[in-house]
């Protein structure tokens, strides 16, 4: 498949420190938990894709695709990267295309993302046939001064990664490399009313309080997904 170009906009990173053993039990064998301050981290990320299109196609022909994902932080052969447990997105055709052609674990959901009086109102409800139900609803907004992610230890750990891994429906491990400028983040505040994304992926709600970051976004080039192994999910 050809690379894709898009923009990521209005992102919230809702981040929980958790016991590394909890995350490790959910990872494919070839991935190792990456730790910051002795903890693994889980992040729920609501946002919207804009101008999603094949590389080289003008922006005006791209589509908008609100999304919600659950991710963690791992290493592959020592390289820091991201692992996605699930990606919920609006648009049946887009979800089917991501599953069939890019081998990504996308789920169809009804999603809305609307800027309202300086806040981002976000709502997602999974409607994918046969999938565990998952809902997320709330609002978030930036506070404070901008943070250059490469200069902040936690922010760098969470976002300055330029590849991600997923497990395809057939159990194979897939890698996608991404190109973009370094992140600029803001401290964020939220009013999250519903979040069952963690339980839908087999995680209990962490006892720790989450740390929040907001980003207005950046432009991205995602390379074609590549198969890197055929390991089944580790069920230790």
Query: pLDDT for 82-113, tens place per residue?
Result: 999 999 998 756 666 666 655 677 889 999 99
Asked whether residue 235 is domain-assigned, the answer is no
| pTM of the predicted structure, to 2 decimals | 0.92
- Tens-digit pLDDT profile for residues 27-52: 999 999 999 999 999 999 999 999 99
Average pLDDT of span 147-158:
98
**Residue 236 forms part of a structural domain:** no
Question: What was the pLDDT predicted at 102?
Answer: 58
Residue 205 lies in a domain: yes
Does any domain span residue 18? yes
Residue pair 185/213 in contact by the 8 Å Cβ criterion: yes
Q: 233: pLDDT confidence band, cut at 50, 70 and 90? A: very low
**Residue 141: inside a domain:** yes
Residue 221 lies in a domain: yes
How many domains in the chain?
Answer: 1
pLDDT, residue 93, reads 61
CA end-to-end distance (rounded Å), the chain: 34
Split at pLDDT 50, 70, 90, the class of 130 is: confident
The range of the structural domain enclosing residue 31 comes to 4-229
H/E segment holding residue 97:
helix 92-101
> What is the dihedral sign for C-alpha 197, 201, 207, 212?
negative
137 in any annotated domain: yes
State residue 71's pLDDT score. 98
Would you list the DSSP string of 23-34?
Answer: HHTTSBTT-EE-
What CATH code is carried by the domain that includes residue 103?
2.40.400.10
**Residues 176-197, mean pLDDT to the nearest whole number:** 96
| 183 in any annotated domain | yes
């Amino acid at each position: 498949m050809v690379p894709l170009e898009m923009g990521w906009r209005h992102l919230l990173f809702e981040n929980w420190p958790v016991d590394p053993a909890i995350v490790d039990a959910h990872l494919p064998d070839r991935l190792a938990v990456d730790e910051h301050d002795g903890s693994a981290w889980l992040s729920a990320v609501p946002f919207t894709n804009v101008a999603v299109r094949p590389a080289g196609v003008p922006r005006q022909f791209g589509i908008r695709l609100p999304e919600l994902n659950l991710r963690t932080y791992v290493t592959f052969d020592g390289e820091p990267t991201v692992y996605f447990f699930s990606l919920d997105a609006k648009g049946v055709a887009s979800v089917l295309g991501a599953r069939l052609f890019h081998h990504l674990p996308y789920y169809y959901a009804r999603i809305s993302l609307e800027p309202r009086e300086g806040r981002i109102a976000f709502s997602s409800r999974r409607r994918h046939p046969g999938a565990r139900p998952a809902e997320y609803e709330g609002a978030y907004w930036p506070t404070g001064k901008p943070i250059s992610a490469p200069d902040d230890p936690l922010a760098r750990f969470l976002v300055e990664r330029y590849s991600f891994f997923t497990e395809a429906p057939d159990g194979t491990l897939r890698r996608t490399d991404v190109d973009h400028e370094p992140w600029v983040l803001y401290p964020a505040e939220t009013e999250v009313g519903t979040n069952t994304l963690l339980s839908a992926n087999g995680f209990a709600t962490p006892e720790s309080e989450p740390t929040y970051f907001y980003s207005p976004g950046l432009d991205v080039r995602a390379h074609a997904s590549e198969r890197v192994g055929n390991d089944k999910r580790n069920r230790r």
